[in-house]
Amino acid sequence: MAHRSSRDLRDLWGAASWAACAQFFLAEAVATLGFQGHYSYRDKFISDLGALTCLHGCSHWHALMNSSFVLQAVLIAAGTLLLSGRFFPTWAGATARVFLLLSAVGVLLVGLFPEDANANFHVLGARMHFLLGALAMLLIAIAHRRRAGSPRHARPDATWLRFQPVAGSIAASIALFGDVLIAYSNEQTAAVLGTGTIERIAAYPFPLWLALTGSWTLWAVLAGGNSNSPRDAAPTARNRTRDL
């Protein structure tokens, strides 16, 4: 088994943490199965699945949904801290790291304070999570746009480095559009799209992006040997030149 540096191990666990953010969709699907009455993705909020009382409907699996929110916060924060060397070496990346950690705090509030337990903290957490997650994706896309053009990135994740700016920009744009809809939608908009649809336009891109980015980074670390970072690759090139 090839030896891996501490940097690679941090990247490995960080990428796995982000990839595991897909658990949110599994928890949501299970919670809908336990919902009393018909649960409509179009017309029901995600938070309805974590409601403790049945004033507007509730799920027998509300504890699972709220636990998923808390777990999501842990996974986002862990991945962000562990992947600091890979994703956040620029000003845009450093700002994105702050936004990611704050978005983790937001979804933590969502899980700890269900909508019918403390609506103020719940709504604050949801807005933090949606908006700051979208801005973080956009900033990481900006950071990767510069890195993707570097000739030093002939690495297993080079394809992702080229694709990341596009994927991140698209995901961020959709999420921000959803944030605008949430802030400015009226009864007519809600009637056409559905309140659940509007919320999911803002909510879904971020965990999808985290899962995809984490999975691709995990593959890159596993396929890349001892190290994939540009700073670690440069000494190797110099050593080869010296050996010629």
CA dihedral sign of residues 164, 193, 46, 178: positive
Task: Kindly state the tokens that stand for 202.
Answer: 């803002």
pLDDT of amino acid 139: 94
pLDDT of amino acid 147: 57
pLDDT of amino acid 146: 60
Scanning 91-118, the segments in alpha helix (DSSP H) are 91-112
pLDDT of amino acid 172: 97
Alpha-carbon 225 to chain mean position: 26
pLDDT of amino acid 158: 62
Q: Are 10 and 233 in contact (CB under 8 A)?
A: no
Give the DSSP letter string of 133-174. Answer: HHHHHHHHHHHHHHHHT-TT--STTHHHHHHHHHHHHHHHHH
Rounded CA-CA distance 73/180 in Å is: 23
Residue in the block written with tokens 């944030």: 179
Q: What is the pLDDT tens value at each position of the chain, 244 positions in all?
A: 456 677 778 999 999 999 999 999 999 999 999 998 889 999 999 999 999 988 767 899 999 999 999 999 999 999 999 998 777 778 888 999 999 999 999 999 999 999 999 999 999 999 999 999 999 999 999 887 765 555 454 555 566 667 788 999 999 999 999 999 999 988 899 999 999 999 999 999 999 999 999 999 999 888 874 333 434 444 444 444 444 3
Q: Are 56 and 35 in contact (CB under 8 A)?
A: no
**How many residues make up the chain in this entry?**
244
pLDDT of amino acid 221: 86
The pTM of this model reads 0.85
**What are the residue ranges spanned by the domains of the chain?**
6-228
